């Protein structure tokens, strides 16, 4: 989960005229990145070859 400090730091990097939608999009992106890092740390990943196989099936 994102900490308040990370959220605040991320928002402060946005331009002063950022819209609420842009702020929320940025927060959601930060959360997804944090979740991805957490999953990778737990070994919950697939190989590039496995992903290539999944994509090939989707495109059929």
All structural domains of the chain with their residue ranges: 4-58
Give the whole-angstrom CA distance, residue 4 versus residue 10: 10
Confidence of residue 1 (pLDDT cuts 50, 70, 90): low
What pLDDT score does 3 carry?
Answer: 85
pLDDT tens for residues 13-50? 999 999 999 999 999 999 999 999 999 999 999 999 99
Q: pTM for the full model?
A: 0.69
Residue 52 in this model has a pLDDT that exceeds 90: yes
Name residue, tokens 């999944």.
Answer: 54
Nearest to 42 by CA among 54, 50, 34: 34
């Amino acid at each position: 989960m994102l900490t308040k400090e990370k959220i605040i730091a991320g928002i402060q990097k946005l331009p002063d005229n950022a819209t609420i939608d842009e702020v929320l999009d940025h927060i959601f992106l930060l959360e997804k990145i944090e979740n991805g890092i957490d999953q990778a740390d737990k070994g919950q990943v697939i190989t590039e070859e496995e992903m290539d196989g999944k994509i090939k099936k989707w495109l059929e």
